[in-house]
Structure 1
Amino acid sequence: MRMVNPEQLQHLARLLNDRGGVTDDLTAAFTRTRQQGVTDRLAALKPLHHWVDDTAVDLRRRAGYAYLEDGKPMLALATWAGGGTKDAKWRSKESLADWEDRIKPKILTLIPGLAPLGAVGDAKAIVHDGGLAVFHGINMTKILAGNSLREGWLGSLKNNAALSMQNSDSVKVRWLGTILERVNPALRSL
């Protein structure tokens, strides 16, 4: 039986190596001793610097496992990537799918080495959705215009234009009028 609160583990990890934490304090102490020329007095604390970083990573890893055991895989990924739960909190009236769509790009940008991938993923989604909108818009216009050309307002306009062209003095224009009169697209449904 597990008796650990993942949020407390994350808080402890933040205290160790986030801004203003133990890592910053150790760095400041080593900088001051170096400036004063007494680094030998803090020599025993040098291993503590690595221990703090390693422990913070381990605490985040354990918090991620705790989130997995609680059935919160997205929080586990956010934790392992070094992010907190503040961005991963559920908003009121937000569905699970909406929450996952909102949190996935944030998680990707938190994983070292994959930071640009989140922005690219968002751009890819926008381009994909935009492309679908353009594709369906063009197809709908093609269908509606074709149906109107066959049986609607554009059909009567086409017939009037073809008749005017066939009464022309130019042979090529009369020929084009004949071709225009024969245009009869298939009737399509949406």
Structure 2
Amino acid sequence: MTELPHTRTRAVHWLATAAALAAVLGGTALLHPATATPAPGTGAVGRAPDPDRARYPLHCGPAGTRTDVLDRAAADFDGDGTAETVAVVRCRARGGTPPSAVFVLSRTADTGRPRIAATLVEQREGMSVRDLAVRGTTLSATLLGYSSADVPRCCPDKRRTVKWEWREGKFALRPGPVAGGGVSV
């Protein structure tokens, strides 16, 4: 029995199949259905405030020094149908690691502009904030700090994972154990 020409696979067939599959997967990664709804607890209920448009109470030195939003997350913490934004912010620096601050932003009722609703970590505490995450109405982050003024600002030697839970109209802090010695952050 003779094989039909279209039943034999060749490299060109595999390449064409791979290219078609890549195009389909790439297209589905870029396109979302118009009826898609956010997964529960993702905080995408109402449009969250843009942290790049907020004004932060940071002391950044010379006039004109800007702030950088290092991380952001959104959730509807208070259950009002509008998402709040959590922003990790610090002063822009050309070198070194300036301390971070963590703010929760909501929208003003009259203009809809971002406003600070809560401050979770203040700049004056001298910490860096990493690994910001939101799960439901709980925020978590890793705080990095220094045991003394002799520790170079590039290399924090204290580390603590913390969680803030939204309870009774405010954020309640739940600190984890301190890593790196007995001095807490």
TM over 0.5: same fold? no
Answer 1 or 2: which has greater strand percent.
2
Q: Which structure carries more helix by proportion?
A: 1
Task: Compare CA radii of gyration and give the structure with the larger one.
Answer: 1
TM-score of the two chains, using structure 2 as the length reference? 0.23
Provide TM-score, normalisation by structure 1.
0.23
